[in-house]
Amino acid sequence: MNPTQVPTGRDHGVQPIDRLMTCWNLGNHRLVASSPDQLTHKQVQRARKGRQLTLHMMQKLAQSLNAAIVDTLPEDHRQSFHPYLHKHLFDYAKGHDPAWRDPNEPLMPEPS
């Protein structure tokens, strides 16, 4: 999809979950491995690329992302981590706020 095109139908373009996974240095496999529920690499890839997902799948991905991040944080930073909700990860989710500021930015690893 051309970046200047407006997403239509069931494809919504690259989602905020993709940027967050990049900022936290997490790959698709890490999310699948950390998932408390069954999650596949294909589902993670679809989420990152912007294929429309059900609310249940968005919540499952949010849970997996939170689990993967908490696994990477030092013990003393885990208490200050604010879990992500599905509305933070998908710009087509009900309640999404484009002006939302990530409270976890100070906890993110330095870009390499």
pLDDT 10s digits, 20-69: 999 999 999 999 999 988 999 999 999 999 999 999 999 999 999 999 99
Give the amino acid at 68: A
Q: Is 5 a residue whose pLDDT tops 70?
A: no
Number of residues that this document lists for the chain:
112
Q: Is residue 3 scored above 60 in pLDDT? A: no
**What pLDDT band is residue 112 in, cutting at 50, 70 and 90?**
low
Report DSSP state, residue 84: P
pLDDT at 102: 97
Span 81-109, pLDDT tens digits: 999 999 999 999 999 999 999 999 999 99
Q: Which two tokens stand for residue 26?
A: 């997490």
* pTM beyond 0.85: yes
> Which residue in 42, 41, 51 sits closest to 92, CA to CA?
51
pLDDT of the residue at 4:
47
Contact call for residues 47 and 2 (beta carbons, < 8 A): no
Query: In angstroms, how far is CA 37 from the centroid of its own chain?
Result: 15
Looking at residue 1, its pLDDT comes to 47
